[in-house]
Amino acid sequence: MPRNTTLSRLLGSGAHLTLDGGLATELEAHGCDLGDPLWSAKVLLEQPHLIKQVHRDYFDAGAAIANTASYQATPQGFAMRGIGEAEALELVALSVRLADEARREYLAENPGAGPLLIAGSVGPYGAYLADGSEYRGDYILSREEFMDFHRSRIAALVEAGADLLACETLPSFAEAEALLALGEEFDVESWFSFTLRDGGHISDGTPLAKVAALLGAQQHVVAIGVNCVPLELVSPSLGALGKATGKPLLAYPNSGESYDAGAKTWKPGSGTPGSWRPSSLAEGAGAWRDLGALLIGGCCRTTPRDIAAVAGLSTKG
């Protein structure tokens, strides 16, 4: 059995859990300038107290799981700032401690609250490249190169006490295979969530059915789904995954805006002709749950208000 089993027990009981929302979005709202290859990991260096505050804001909004600020925190990325590996991995560990401090504070004030979990964010190699390739999956590394890239960060997250790993915003089937092997190596539960080319394929073109076949039989993979995708792609992608696996599903899409990776700006989303496009996370959550999503939250441009609306639905239903 994997080392951490709290989430799998909760999902096995049929619990619907609310994830947090956009960390970077809230950090920018607090005045942080994230125009940097390190993105939100930059704040680990400069203003870590703000990361803790954002985690607390999401717990206050009803989130049951906090995603750490380690998405773009890698020794390779920090090395470009002249930071050595030991210090870089300490910053990765700090991302877990900040979330844990926020959790402890919330539980001290809300002693009857249910279990709160910390997911150690493992962003893809494309996030380190900081060129938008986590939405394309057009980079090629060997299995060993992927594992070498991710191994030390995963070790730091596990050793710091993350309850599980969030292998997220993945565009590449080959990278998912490498992360799957690392999850087994460290004997830790994880969820896998992907970016999409369309409602039936991840960004590198791999069919979602093939992704589900790879991950569905793995004991330490507790959920499979999508994140950082347009609202209108959530239902078709969950439908495709649900046909191929009995695993719990998860979804934490963007707010509905579209990201221009070249300009690094957001613009209003136009939707896909003929596709149902909910106006918000809360509007889509009911349909996504009907499709098997037990974990629902938000990614870029979502806020504690959005998460509170989703959490409110969980309370009612």
Q: Which fold has domain 6-316?
A: TIM Barrel (3.20.20)
Residue 94, token pair as written in the block: 């700090």
Residues 159-173 pLDDT 10s: 999 999 999 999 999
Query: Strand, coil or helix: what is 57?
Result: helix
**In the block, which residue shows the tokens 């877990």?**
96
Question: Contact, 155 vs 186, CB < 8 A?
Answer: yes
Residue 270: its pLDDT value, please?
A: 57
Q: Residue 271: pLDDT above 80?
A: no
Tell me whether strands 258-260 and 265-267 are parallel, antiparallel or unpaired: antiparallel
Q: Where are the domains of the chain?
A: 6-316
Read off the pTM: 0.94
* CA–CA distance, 43 with 69 (Å, rounded to integer): 9
pLDDT tens, residue by residue, 195-225 = 999 999 999 999 999 999 999 999 999 999 9
pLDDT at 5 over 80: no
